[in-house]
């Protein structure tokens, strides 16, 4: 087995569990954190040294809502290019969604994804589908898929409308102790998806997606979840009413987790008017009151997961007219910066609080080996300067469908370490 040893010297450690930042050196041996030295230590002979002076060292980020388009749509992204984007963004744990082509409704596709992921240098996991062929009519063999390595279940991209199927899926996911995630948009209420039914839809002269499309399914699934034992994730929440429904469900003891994306806590429907299809997504960007409610949900713990919903599309696809262009934006390379700019710099969260929601909480929910910096723990880290500015421009991802191009942001990742090995270094080799 390859030995992965490293000595990180002079960094400030971000501890999300104890909500503190403190100076320390980190000795990594055989891919695990061997020692954390709060007094300056001496590097053992033969161990490479990384100079962390002026940088923060935090647990590697974990994104539990990602689309790498592999298999099926490799011109948008593939597992290797997606992983490269993840490394540049500071992510060491990725959970892929199952809406590939073919979709992940049987173990052979899951096996292909996991095997290809093993060669990326970071931890690539995958959910499996809830329903066969994502048609919402018949459940997959969830037990077999769990044995084959699925870390959760979802039909993300297509809402599940059959209540009995949803309830049974929750029960089975609960028995398997695997999270089950839901895309909450009732298609019966939507005329043109990706655009909020309000100022934005009026601007483009289309019907749009009303807030009720999300609210109705969130309300239904929280009711169905009660008593199932399932860990239910309400994905990419976009409405203030949805946030409140999750808040009340948590108070009732329902095992529900709210997920927010950086674009939903940063932008409103005005971005769609200004940037067109680059800001078109499902669910859509909504009103300022919704954005602020999402932030408040993050602050008070109603929303405990920050995930990117990284959704690559080609330039040609996004250049189509607003009603025809696909929904979604990329997010792995901008997520940490947006969290720093919108949540930490504005006083909503501390830096350890941000890392908790972007690393510790998702790792705990999905049972991933990461999310902490502790002796004996996984040597997965991101080293970054939270104050240094950069301009969003060229991406490592195959796609560039981002509404943030040209913006100046804080938070420069200098290195991503996974299993004790530097897999990304600013200005160096991206392995």
Token reading at 406: 């040209």
Residues known to be catalytic: 309
Residue the block writes with tokens 């674009």: 263
Confirm if 54 and 84 have CB atoms less than 8 A apart.
no
DSSP 49: E
Beta strands in 296-407 (DSSP E): 303-306, 381-391
Q: Which helix (H) or strand (E) segment is 83 a member of?
A: helix 79-89
Q: Is the dihedral of CA 268, 270, 276, 282 positive or negative?
A: positive
Exposure class string for 268-289: b at 16+ Cβ within 10 A, else e? bbebbbebbbbbbbbbbbbbee
Q: Is the dihedral of CA 371, 92, 90, 71 positive or negative?
A: negative
The dihedrals phi and psi of 138, each to the nearest 5 degrees, come to: -145, 135
Residue the block writes with tokens 């060292």: 57
Q: Report the C-alpha gap between 359 and 353 in whole angstroms.
A: 10
Confirm if 159 and 183 have CB atoms less than 8 A apart.
yes
């Amino acid at each position: 087995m390859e030995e992965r040893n490293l000595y990180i010297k002079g960094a400030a450690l971000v501890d999300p569990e104890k909500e503190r930042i403190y100076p320390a050196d980190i000795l990594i041996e055989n891919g695990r954190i061997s020692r954390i030295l709060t007094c300056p230590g001496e590097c053992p002979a033969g161990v490479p040294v990384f100079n962390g002076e002026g940088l923060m060292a935090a647990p590697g980020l974990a994104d539990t809502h990602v689309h790498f388009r592999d298999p099926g749509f490799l011109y948008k992204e593939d597992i290797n290019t997606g992983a490269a984007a993840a490394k540049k963004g500071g992510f060491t744990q990725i959970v892929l969604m199952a809406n590939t082509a073919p979709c992940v409704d049987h173990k052979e596709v899951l096996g292909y994804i996991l095997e290809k992921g093993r060669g990326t240098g970071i931890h690539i996991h995958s959910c499996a589908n809830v329903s066969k062929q994502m048609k919402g009519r018949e459940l997959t063999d969830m037990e077999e898929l769990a044995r084959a390595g699925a870390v959760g279940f979802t039909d993300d991209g297509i809402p599940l409308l059959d209540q009995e199927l949803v309830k049974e899926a929750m029960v089975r996911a609960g028995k398997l102790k695997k999270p089950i995630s839901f895309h909450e948009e009732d298609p019966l209420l939507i005329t043109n998806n990706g655009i909020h039914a309000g100022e934005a839809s009026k601007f483009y002269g289309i019907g749009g997606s009303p807030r009720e499309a999300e609210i109705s399914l969130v309300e239904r699934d929280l009711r169905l979840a009660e008593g199932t034992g399932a860990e239910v994730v309400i994905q990419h929440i976009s409405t203030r009413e949805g946030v409140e429904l999750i808040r009340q469900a948590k108070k009732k003891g329902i095992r529900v987790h709210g997920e927010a994306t950086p674009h939903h806590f940063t932008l409103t429907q005005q971005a769609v008017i200004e940037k067109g299809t680059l800001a078109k997504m499902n669910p859509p960007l909504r009103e300022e009151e919704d954005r602020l409610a999402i932030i408040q949900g993050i602050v008070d713990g109603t929303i405990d997961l920050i995930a990117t919903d990284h959704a690559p599309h080609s330039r040609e696809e996004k250049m189509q007219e607003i009603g025809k262009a696909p929904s979604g934006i990329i997010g792995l390379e901008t997520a940490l910066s947006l969290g720093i700019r919108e949540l930490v710099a504005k006083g909503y969260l501390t830096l350890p609080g941000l890392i908790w929601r972007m690393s510790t909480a998702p790792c705990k929910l999905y049972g991933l080996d990461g999310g902490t910096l502790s002796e004996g723990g996984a040597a997965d880290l991101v080293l970054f300067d939270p104050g240094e500015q950069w301009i969003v421009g060229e991406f490592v991802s195959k796609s560039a469908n981002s509404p943030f191009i040209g913006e100046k942001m804080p938070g420069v990742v200098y290195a991503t370490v996974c299993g004790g090995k530097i897999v990304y270094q600013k200005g160096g080799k991206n392995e």
